[in-house]
Amino acid sequence: MFSGLSELIGSFPHALAAGLLIGLTCSLLGVFVILQRVVFIGITLSEVAALGIALAMTLHAPPVLGAAVLTLSVVILLALPLEFMRLPRDAILGLIFVVASSLAVLVVAGSGLALHEIKTLLYGDLILTSPTDLAVMVAVLLPVAAVLLIFLRPILYTFLDRKASRVLGIKVLRWELLYFCCLGLAVSAASQAAGALLVFCYLVVPAAAGLLCSRRLGLAMACSALVAILGTLAGLVYSLRADLPANQTIVVAVTILFVLIAATRAVAWLFGRERP
């Protein structure tokens, strides 16, 4: 493992840094994605970001800009009071997901890009992270993680009990919008390198593992980040050794960690050491 790690640091330092950064930020944000039961927003925003990247590349604009504009537009749309539509938010997310996925494919199909470029664009490849990509990620993801941790208390209270928060003078719309803008920005910055699948994985799987590990929010977030970091390291090292696609290998590694944690919890529960 250690020789593989030093080989990875030597050969793909940017991929390693990008994977750790994306994993860390998305796994922290992902705890609230799960707690709010809006898991579908993860994959929807990833697809919207892919569409934004595709549009930006066809228009010769910076990809992250295209992704950010589209994801933030969707986030703001979802924050609007849509009750008049008498549809659950999941249905609206589903609609946006199918439109974004189809349009992304149609835009790249008409762009004249080569097949491998299209594949990279739609599914991402962490190994191809350039120093510029990494700089963009550092500029976006670190502030996003910092904002989430600094304003954790009002964000938690907003999601925990909206009405009571309003009574206490907490500006729930402001904190909700801040959280979802952070989520949109993180997905935008991560999508080109990580692709929709890995971003979705980072948002859901480590957070689920973290919530299995602890009944304390802070500790659950720390465990979530740890699972993302360990999964990224193991996935990247193994993908390099076995010559496998990096993103998908990381997904498998993170999922294996989740399964191990879930199995440990199940055993503890079976032997009566923990309440369900």
Partner 1 sequence: MSTVSLITCRGLQVAYGREMVLRGVDLEVVKGSFLPLVGPNGAGKTTLLMAILGLVKPSAGTVETPFARRPPGYVPQQGVIDPLFPVPASQIVAMGLYPHLGWWKKLGKQDRRAVSGVLAMLGMDGQGSKTFAQLSGGMRQKTLIARALVARPEVLILDEPTAGLDEESQQEIMAHLVAINRQQGCTIVMAHHGESLLADAAPLVCQMEHGRVRLREPSHV
The residues of the shown chain that bind partner 1, judged by CB under 8 A, are 34-35, 37, 153-154, 156-157, 159-161, 163-170, 211, 214-217, 219-220, 275
Question: Residue 171 or residue 241: which is nearer to partner 1 going by CB?
Answer: 171
**To the nearest whole angstrom, how small is the minimum distance from the Cβ of residue 178 to partner 1?**
14
**To the nearest whole angstrom, how small is the minimum distance from the Cβ of residue 34 to partner 1?**
8
Q: What is the CA angle 103-109-115, rounded to 5?
A: 125
**To the nearest whole angstrom, how small is the minimum distance from the Cβ of residue 151 to partner 1?**
9
Question: Residue 27 or residue 188: which is nearer to partner 1 going by CB?
Answer: 27
Q: From CA 25, how far away is CA 186, in angstroms rounded?
A: 7
Question: Residue 139 or residue 262: which is nearer to partner 1 going by CB?
Answer: 262
**To the nearest whole angstrom, how small is the minimum distance from the Cβ of residue 275 to partner 1?**
7
Cβ neighbours of residue 241 closer than 8 Å, sequence gap 6 or more: 4
Question: Residue 37 or residue 60: which is nearer to partner 1 going by CB?
Answer: 37
Burial (CB count within 10 angstroms: exposed 0-12, middle 13-18, buried 19+), residue 37: exposed
Question: Residue 8 or residue 207: which is nearer to partner 1 going by CB?
Answer: 207
**To the nearest whole angstrom, how small is the minimum distance from the Cβ of residue 166 to partner 1?**
6
Q: What is the CA angle 258-182-188, rounded to 5?
A: 80
Cβ neighbours of residue 265 closer than 8 Å, sequence gap 6 or more: 212, 274
Question: Residue 216 or residue 241: which is nearer to partner 1 going by CB?
Answer: 216
Q: From CA 124, how far away is CA 114, in angstroms rounded?
A: 15
Q: What is the CA angle 192-46-40, rounded to 5?
A: 160
* Cβ proximity of 188 and 50 under 8 Å: no
**To the nearest whole angstrom, how small is the minimum distance from the Cβ of residue 271 to partner 1?**
19
